[in-house]
Amino acid sequence: MKINEVPFIKEMCDTADNMYRLGWDERNGGNISYMIPETEVKKYFNPAKVIRVIPLGFDAKELVGKYFLVTGTGKYFKNVKACPEENLGLMRISSDGQNAELIWGYEGGGKFTSELPAHLMSHTVRLKADAENRVIMHTHPTNILAMTYVHDLDTKEFTHTLWQMSTECIVVFPDGVEVLPWMLCGTNEIGVATAEKMKESRVVVWALHGIYGAGKTLDETFGLIETVEKAASIYMLTAHLPRKNTITDDQLKMLAERFGVSYKEGILK
Ligand code: 13P
Ligand code: ZN
C-alpha cells in the first residue's frame, strides 16, 4: 500500500492542500495535529518500531500513549501532498509524557511543529469537553488576521461582530471565538494561554497572527475555521462602508433557538 492510500494520511494531505489553496498557509505557516486511534495506527504501521525519540519540552502526561499525526516544523503545506513522509510525522506520547516517539515520517531529520505546546495542551483541554475531539488546527487566514488589526480585540465584541456577518455563524460557532493578544509564538506560554481559552471556545484567535480551531474531524475543524474566515471577510469588505442593514440580536436568538444551539452568554442583549 502506498503511503498516501492510508486513509488518515490522505485526509491530512487533502486538508493541507485545501488550506494552502485558500491562501491561509503561506510558506511554512500553519500546523495541524490529528489524534489517531491505536487500532487505526496498527492497521498500517508497526507501533513497536520507534524510529526516533524527540523530547517535547513540556509535560504531556494526560496524553500518554496517544498517537498524533502532526505537520513538521518549517514545512510548507504546499508540499505535504507530494511528499507526506518528509512533511508529516506520526508519533506517540511516551509513557512519562516527556517525549514524542516517532513511528513514521519526518524523513530527512525533521520534527514536529514549533506550535506543539499549543496543540497538545489544547487537545488535553478539548478532550475533557468532548471525548471525540481529535483535531487541533492552526492557520493564518487572511481576513481573520486583517480583522485583528482594525477591530477591538475584546472576545465578546469580536464574537458579536462575527456572528452578525453571516446567518450561519451563531449556529456553526455558538461558543463564539476567544481572542488572545499578541504573544510570542512557539512557546509553552502561548500554549498554556491558548489551552485556557479553549476551555471556553473551539476557536481561538491569535491577534496579528492567525487562528486555532478544534473539532472531531479534519473536515469539521476546517469547516469551522472556514466559516469564521468567511465572516471576517464580510467584515473586511464592509467595515469601511456605511452599514444599512444588520442581523439583530433578536434574529441571532431566533437562529439559535431554531437550530437548537446554546450560545455563549453575555454577548447578545
Ligand atoms: P511551524 O513551521 O513550526 O509549524 O510554524 C508555523 C507557524 O504557523 C508558527 O505559528
Ligand atoms: Zn502560525
| DSSP characters over 18-37 | HHHHTT---TT--EEEEEE-
Any catalytic annotation for residue 11?
Answer: no
pLDDT of amino acid 93: 99
Domain 1-114: top CATH class: alpha beta
Neighbours of ion ligand 2 (CB under 5 A): 210
Give the pLDDT means over successive 10-residue stretches in the chain (269 positions): 96 98 98 99 98 98 98 98 98 98 98 98 98 98 98 98 98 98 98 98 98 98 98 98 98 98 98
Grid cell, residue 244, equals: 444599512
Q: Is the CB of 194 under 6 A from ligand 1?
A: no
Q: Distance (Å, rounded) from C-alpha 242 to C-alpha 85?
A: 51
pLDDT of amino acid 225: 99
Fold topology of 139-259: L-fuculose-1-phosphate Aldolase (3.40.225)
Grid cell, residue 38, equals: 491505536
Measured from the CA of 209, which atom of ligand 1 is nearest?
A: 10
> Which position has the grid cell 472556514?
226
Q: Is the CB of 18 under 6 A from ligand 1?
A: no
Residues of each domain in the chain carrying CATH 3.40.225.10: 1-114, 139-259
- Measured in angstroms, how far is the CA atom of residue 243 from the centroid of ligand 1? 37
Beta bridge partners of 35: 68
The CB density around residue 184, as the number of other CB atoms within 10 Å, is 7
∠ CA 103-108-110, nearest 5°, is: 65
- Measured in angstroms, how far is the CA atom of residue 71 from the centroid of ligand 1? 9
- Measured in angstroms, how far is the CA atom of residue 234 from the centroid of ligand 1? 27
pLDDT of amino acid 111: 98
Q: Are 33 and 70 in contact (CB under 8 A)?
A: yes
